[in-house]
Amino acid sequence: MDYAIAVSSKLAANGIHGQLIFYRWHIRNTTISGSHVFVVYRLPDGSEWIVDNEIPEPKKVPPEASPMQLVLLLSGDPSAPVDVELQNGLNQLSFF
């Protein structure tokens, strides 16, 4: 959370706007679960990117990608045995 807020604040201070994406995850057949947040932002050229403290560099977002597609892009492994639920209440309020 601290990383996402710091990055979004720095981007907004430089006129780059976007959104924080919040989601919950659960590894199937285990008791392991948690929540996560990452940043999606749009550059002046119209390109969109996601950034997170768990990836080494920002990833370019395909045009018209849904928030769930962004989560899968972030994970890098869409076949992982993890259930994901977007936290839409938070996502609706998280634009910067």
Which tens digit of pLDDT belongs to each residue from 17-45?
Answer: 999 999 999 999 999 999 999 999 999 99
Taking the whole predicted model, whether its pTM rises above 0.85 is answered as yes
pLDDT at 75: 83
Separation in Å, CA 36 to CA 12, 44, 45, 65, 72: 21, 27, 28, 19, 13
How is the chain split into domains, by residue range? 2-91
Which two three-digit tokens encode residue 56?
């080494």
